[in-house]
């Protein structure tokens, strides 16, 4: 079973999250090592395992993204068409003595883009948590030329994103604004219930070309209301920085 992705857990420097080509995510403790074995599952102690992306065919875990604000959350994604981004609460993990049937804390299906036009060939290209705003996840797909912003908040108290990438208007209505100008906008973050899939982003930024990767810039301490996303396009190798307010 091939390793497809790796990520250190930010608040647990000895814990390594590993995604496989078969859809599994395992958390290993590198302090407990058997140096006589080159197989990671036999070399290190497995703290927990979960089936992140099950399916009739193998759905490799292309990326693991720890939440910078909540260390017990990780987001995982696969490059299989139509596969969702899933957020997992590691506090609810089970020991490897039994196969994990952990349910995702939140599920996001971004394949309709900002306009709801679903594409059966759409797959997730990259995922990045905001480094300045809690519960904000940016997602890019293979078929939509936009950076899509989703809220992962679960309760009404967490649903409003003030400043940064939009702010909640408290009226329960979704309002997309594709402008990246410096003016402040009022955008209501769409929150997911435990048993629902979030499909509509609360904000999006159009870009030119196909997006290959995305990264957030952590704003200076005196600019807490600003955040930036950097996207790279494969057509001409350009990197674009968008200021979102």
Average of per-residue pLDDT across 199-212: 85
* Ordered DSSP codes for 166-218: ----SSS--------SSS----PPPPPPTT-EE-S-SEEEE-SS-EEEEEEEP
d(CA 226, CA 228): 7
Other beta carbons within 10 angstroms of residue 128's beta carbon come to 22
Count, residues in the chain: 245
Average of per-residue pLDDT across 96-124: 78
pLDDT score of 77: 95
Nearest alpha carbon to residue 174 among 157, 161, 163: 161
Nearest alpha carbon to residue 156 among 196, 190, 115: 190
Structure tokens at 38: 């080159």
pLDDT score of 31: 79
d(CA 136, CA 149): 7
**What residues are paired with 12 via a beta bridge?**
9
Structure tokens at 19: 């995604």
Structure tokens at 170: 């408290």
Q: Is the pLDDT of residue 191 over 50?
A: no
Residues 5-52 pLDDT 10s: 999 998 888 889 999 999 989 888 887 766 555 555 555 566 788 888
Q: Is the pLDDT of residue 227 over 60?
A: no
Structure tokens at 108: 């996001």
pLDDT score of 139: 93
pLDDT score of 175: 37
Q: Is the pLDDT of residue 125 over 70?
A: yes
Counting DSSP H helices and E strands in the chain, the numbers are 2, 16
Give the pairing type, strands 197-198 and 106-108: parallel
Average of per-residue pLDDT across 213-224: 72
């Amino acid at each position: 079973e091939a390793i497809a992705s790796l990520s250190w857990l930010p608040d647990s420097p000895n814990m390594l999250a590993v995604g496989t080509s078969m859809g599994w995510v395992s958390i290993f403790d590198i302090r407990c090592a058997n140096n006589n074995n080159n197989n990671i599952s036999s070399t290190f102690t497995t703290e927990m395992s979960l089936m992140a992306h099950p399916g009739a065919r193998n759905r490799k875990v292309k990326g693991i993204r720890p939440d910078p604000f909540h260390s017990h959350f990780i987001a995982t994604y696969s490059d299989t068409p139509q596969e969702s981004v899933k957020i997992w609460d590691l506090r609810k993990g089970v020991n490897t003595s039994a196969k994990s049937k952990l349910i995702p804390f939140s599920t996001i299906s971004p394949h309709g883009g900002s306009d709801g036009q679903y594409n059966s060939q759409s797959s997730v290209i990259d995922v990045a948590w905001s480094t300045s705003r809690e519960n904000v996840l940016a997602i890019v797909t293979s078929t939509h030329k936009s950076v899509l912003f989703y809220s992962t908040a679960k309760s009404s108290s967490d649903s409003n994103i003030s400043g940064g990438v939009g702010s909640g208007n408290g009226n329960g209505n979704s309002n997309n604004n594709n402008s990246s100008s410096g003016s402040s906008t009022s955008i209501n973050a769409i929150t997911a219930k435990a048993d629902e899939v979030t499909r509509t982003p609360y904000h999006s930024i159009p870009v030119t070309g196909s997006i290959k990767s995305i990264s957030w810039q952590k704003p200076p301490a005196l600019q807490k209301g600003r955040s930036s996303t950097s996207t790279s396009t494969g057509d001409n190798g350009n990197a674009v920085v968008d200021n979102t307010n």
